[in-house]
Amino acid sequence: MQTTPKDLLIRYLKFFLPPSEWKIPVIILLGILTGLGFYIFYISNAISYLSDKPETCINCHVMNTQYVSWEKGSHGRVASCNDCHVPQNNFISKYYFKAKDGLRHATIFTLRTEPQVIQIKQDGKNAVQSNCIRCHYNLLYPISTRAINNKSIMANYNGYCWDCHRETPHGRVTSLSSAPFARVPYLKPIMPKWLEKIIEVNNKNN
């Protein structure tokens, strides 16, 4: 008798289904894990990473210094964080980079292994460099300046724009403690209102 695709599907499903006596515990466990997954997705404000809002970058407070220096700097009114730090050549590479970099950041910040001075990785340097050229193309390549001061850029200079423009846009001091009183937008509290009320009542009773 010939095996049909439907028969194969049923066979695979039966392989993964738990025995009858384990079905209820497995359903309860899957429900708990699913609920925890959705809750983590909610408290981490994961949906915000799909946007280009600069406030997303301070979901983790260790980026407060970078946020403030960007906001008060020359790029604060003309470019967002993603305009500089994420590839802009196409939709796929943009969101692939955001997903890959975001997962690394989330892991580091969750495990509290972030360095005192945050250093940009090589992929990030490549993205920023290409975006510098993309935005400032008209300043780098006009005939009027080509012969004056951009010969190294025209000759595929292997350095970076910020080798010279070191104050742009975050300044030279970017450690976690360089702006302890930085004024940044407040994050929404992650604690549910019902839990806040229970804690408040308990505190009053005690």
CATH number at residue 176: 1.10.3820.10
- Predicted TM-score of the model (pTM): 0.69
CB proximity list for 32: less than 8 A, separation 6 or greater: none
Residue keyed to tokens 């997954």: 37
In a domain, residue 40? The reply is no
What the block records as the tokens of 36 is: 């925890």
pLDDT in tens, the chain (206 residues): 567 777 777 777 777 777 778 888 888 999 999 998 888 887 777 788 888 888 888 887 778 888 888 888 889 889 999 999 999 988 899 999 998 988 888 888 878 888 877 888 899 999 998 899 888 887 776 544 444 455 555 555 567 888 888 888 888 776 767 776 777 777 666 677 888 888 888 888 77
In a domain, residue 22? The reply is no
CA distances from residue 138 to 5, 146, 192 in whole angstroms, order as listed? 59, 11, 50
In a domain, residue 80? The reply is yes
Q: Name the domain count of the chain.
A: 1
In a domain, residue 21? The reply is no
